[in-house]
Chain A
Amino acid sequence: MNTKRMRNITENSMRLVFLTCAMISVISVLSIIAFVFYKGLSPFVGNNAYSFWKFISGTKWDPNNEMYGILYMIVASILGTLGAVAIGVPVGLMTAVFIAEIAPEWIVKIVRPAIELLAGIPSVIFGAFGLGVIVPFIDKISPRPYGQSLFAVICVLTLMILPNIIALSENAIRTVPKSYREASLGLGATKMQTIFSSVIPAAKSGILSATVLGIGRAIGETMAVMMIAGNPIGGIPLSIWDKVRPLTTNIAMEMSYASGRHQEMLFATGVILFIFIMLVNITLIRLTSGEKKVE
Chain B
Amino acid sequence: MKKDGILYACVYLSAAFTVSILVFIIGFILYKGLGNLNLSFLTNMWEDKTTFVVVSENEGIDEETISEGLNSWEIKSLGIVIEMNEEGNAVIKQIAKNSPFKKARNLQNNLYPLKKSDLITKVGSTRIEDMSLSEAVSAISQEFAASSEAIRVKAVRPGGGILPMCVTTFYMIFLSIGISAPIGILSAVYLNEYAKAGRLLRIIRFAIQNLAGIPSIIYGLFGMMFFVQILKMQYSVLAGAMTIAIILLPTIISTTEEALKAIPNTYRESSLGLGATKLQTIFKVILPNAIQGILVAVILSIGRVVGESAALILTAGTVAQIPTALTGTSAGGSTLTVKLYWIIKETGDLSAACSIAIIIIGIIILLNIGSKLITRHFLIKK
Instruction: Show the binding face of A for B, using Cβ within 8 Å.
Output: 7, 10-11, 14-15, 17-19, 21-26, 28-32, 35-36, 39, 90-95, 97-99, 102-103, 110-111, 113-118, 120-129, 131-133, 159, 162, 166, 190-193, 195-196, 216, 219-223, 227, 248, 251-252, 255-256, 266-267, 270, 273-274, 277-278, 280-281, 284-285
Answer yes or no: B214 CB below 8 A from chain A CBs.
Answer: yes
* New A-B pairs, 13, CB < 8 Å, besides A35-B222, A124-B338, A273-B217: A23-B204, A25-B187, A31-B222, A91-B18, A118-B25, A121-B25, A123-B309, A123-B310, A131-B344, A220-B217, A220-B218, A252-B220, A256-B314
Answer yes or no: B195 CB below 8 A from chain A CBs.
Answer: yes
A280 to B32, CA, bound (A): 38
Q: Are B21 and A125 in contact, with the CB atoms below 8 A?
A: no
Q: Are B277 and A11 in contact, with the CB atoms below 8 A?
A: yes
Instruction: Show the binding face of B for A, using Cβ within 8 Å.
Output: 1, 3-4, 7-8, 10-15, 17-19, 21-22, 24-25, 28-29, 32, 182-184, 186-187, 189-191, 193-195, 203-204, 206-211, 213-222, 224-226, 246, 249-250, 253, 277-279, 303, 306-310, 313-314, 318, 337-338, 340-341, 344-345, 350, 353-354, 357, 360-361, 364-365, 367-368, 372
Q: Are A98 and B12 in contact, with the CB atoms below 8 A?
A: yes
Q: Are A128 and B307 in contact, with the CB atoms below 8 A?
A: no
B129, chain A: closest CB distance, angstroms: 36
B332, chain A: closest CB distance, angstroms: 12
On whether A270 and B218 interact (CB within 8 A), knowing A23-B204, A129-B28, A166-B18, the answer reads yes
List residues of chain B with CB within 8 A of the CB of A118: 18, 21-22, 25
On whether A39 and B344 interact (CB within 8 A), knowing A114-B19, A122-B309, A129-B25, the answer reads no
On whether A28 and B249 interact (CB within 8 A), knowing A222-B310, A223-B309, A270-B217, the answer reads yes
> Which B residue's beta carbon lies closest to that of A249?
B217
Q: Are A39 and B225 in contact, with the CB atoms below 8 A?
A: yes
Which residue from B215, B253, B361 sits with its C-beta under 8 Å from A25?
A: B253
On whether A29 and B310 interact (CB within 8 A), knowing A103-B15, A128-B344, A270-B217, the answer reads no
B3, chain A: closest CB distance, angstroms: 7
Q: Are B17 and A21 in contact, with the CB atoms below 8 A?
A: no
A92 to B15, CA, bound (A): 8
On whether A220 and B28 interact (CB within 8 A), knowing A26-B207, A118-B22, the answer reads no
> Which B residue's beta carbon lies closest to that of A107?
B15
Q: Are A162 and B11 in contact, with the CB atoms below 8 A?
A: no
> Which A residue's beta carbon lies closest to that of B217?
A222
A139 to B18, CA, bound (A): 23
Q: Which 7 pairs show the lowest CB-CB distances between chains A and B?
A: A220-B215, A122-B307, A94-B14, A18-B190, A21-B186, A98-B15, A281-B213
Q: Are B306 and A122 in contact, with the CB atoms below 8 A?
A: yes
> Which A residue's beta carbon lies closest to that of B303?
A120
Q: Are B3 and A192 in contact, with the CB atoms below 8 A?
A: yes
Q: Are B211 and A25 in contact, with the CB atoms below 8 A?
A: yes
Q: Are A273 and B186 in contact, with the CB atoms below 8 A?
A: no
B176, chain A: closest CB distance, angstroms: 14
A122 to B350, CA, bound (A): 16
Which residue from B213, B225, B350, B368 sits with its C-beta under 8 Å from A113?
A: B368
Q: Are A196 and B222 in contact, with the CB atoms below 8 A?
A: no
Q: Are A248 and B226 in contact, with the CB atoms below 8 A?
A: no
A32 to B224, CA, bound (A): 11
List residues of chain A with CB within 8 A of the CB of B19: 110-111, 114
Q: Are B221 and A267 in contact, with the CB atoms below 8 A?
A: yes
> Which A residue's beta carbon lies closest to that of B201?
A22
List residues of chain A with CB within 8 A of the CB of B278: 11
Q: Are B218 and A95 in contact, with the CB atoms below 8 A?
A: no
A11 to B310, CA, bound (A): 41
List residues of chain B with CB within 8 A of the CB of A248: 215, 217, 310
Which residue from B11, B186, B210, B341 sits with its C-beta under 8 Å from A127?
A: B341
What are 20 inter-chain pairs, A to B, with CB distance below 8 A? A22-B186, A25-B208, A26-B203, A39-B225, A98-B12, A98-B15, A111-B15, A115-B22, A121-B364, A122-B306, A124-B340, A124-B344, A125-B340, A128-B340, A192-B3, A216-B215, A248-B215, A273-B215, A273-B218, A281-B214
A99 to B155, CA, bound (A): 59
List residues of chain B with CB within 8 A of the CB of A32: 214, 218-219, 222, 246
Q: Are B214 and A220 in contact, with the CB atoms below 8 A?
A: yes
Q: Are B10 and A94 in contact, with the CB atoms below 8 A?
A: yes
Q: Are B308 and A122 in contact, with the CB atoms below 8 A?
A: yes
> Which A residue's beta carbon lies closest to that of B184?
A21
Q: Are B25 and A125 in contact, with the CB atoms below 8 A?
A: yes
Which residue from A125, A192, A219 sits with its C-beta under 8 Å from B357?
A: A125
A117 to B368, CA, bound (A): 7
On whether A21 and B344 interact (CB within 8 A), knowing A216-B213, A220-B214, the answer reads no
Q: Are B221 and A21 in contact, with the CB atoms below 8 A?
A: no
List residues of chain B with CB within 8 A of the CB of A90: 14
Which residue from A113, A120, A162, A270 sits with its C-beta under 8 Å from B21?
A: A162
A83, chain B: closest CB distance, angstroms: 16
